[in-house]
Amino acid sequence: MSEKLQKVLARAGHGSRREMEAWIAAGRVSIDGEIAKLGDRIESDVKVRIDGRAVSVKSSEEVVCRVLAYHKPEGEICSRKDPEGRPTVFDRLPKTKDSRWVAVGRLDINTSGLLLFTSDGELANRLMHPSNEVEREYAVRTFGKVEDAAVQRLRQGVMLEDGPANFDSVKPAGGEGINQWWHVTLAEGRNREVRRLWESQEVQVSRLIRVRYGMIELPKSLPRGGWIELPIEQVNYLRKLAGMEEETRTLLGTDKHSIARSKVRSAKIRRAVRKHKTTSGKPSAGKSASRRRD
């Protein structure tokens, strides 16, 4: 059965569906030697090229959906390449065959914490769609006194330049002096929304860390610059959120080789963190800063 070209390319992990539509519109994709058009549908036996390079067009049965949890440090941008040469969140991710990692949403350069990546661009596309409101939790460190009335307004709703917004919950989480920690939740993904909400109350945010996406929490033992692949139960939790069928396969071993694979993953995390130290010049913490509440 034929499927839309952008859907097939996204599912194979070449990018999000929106990215694929933009590439098709720009004439970067061809089908059997002919420049593709938006709306084209393809069968599994055609030859597809992106920028002249042959790419995989696997069927849904052939694609194994994988998801990574990455502990993004401050200072990294959520783009594949940066003209200014700044480090990106893709720099230390593991290599994949015939596909590439697609970020589920973005965190701005000054925000750290949990960022998900998947090999299934269709999953990323659905999770990022505005209609799919997934709750996100952030640890926020504010500088200066925060009035109770300001907190109440943040719960009830304020007007930002792109419309009304509010936190679903705002909870104090300790701190010392004028540095106070809060945990906030919301189910939208507007640009810099957490910071802009606090700034609407003239409150300065000195630290911002995403600690949870839906029921997926930032692992306490995962250092900044490290990643870990999620087990199939968590992959299927995300697929259920996106209204997709369950994945039945995983590349994470459950046999006698699991311990060896775990050691390999741990070694990759350590290498990623060492690389982070050399590229950023900043030491990586062994625990999430949100748990320390420094």
Dihedral over Cα of 283, 285, 291, 294: its sign: negative
What are phi and psi for residue 94, nearest 5 degrees?
-65, 150
**Which residues are CB-neighbours of 100 under 8 A, at least 6 positions away?**
13, 14, 15, 119
Dihedral over Cα of 218, 219, 224, 226: its sign: negative
Q: Bridge-partner residues for 255, per DSSP? A: none
* Other beta carbons within 10 Å of 107: 23
Catalytic residue among 32, 82, 108, 162: 108
CB 62 within 8 A of CB 11: no
Tokens of residue 47, six digits: 């030859």
Task: Specify the pairing of strand 112-118 against strand 204-213.
Answer: parallel
294 is catalytic: no
Tokens of residue 19, six digits: 């990215």
Q: For residues 276 and 225, give the distance between their C-alpha atoms in angstroms, rounded to a whole number.
A: 6
Tokens 């300790």 correspond to 174
Q: For residues 236 and 248, give the distance between their C-alpha atoms in angstroms, rounded to a whole number.
A: 9
Active site residues: 108
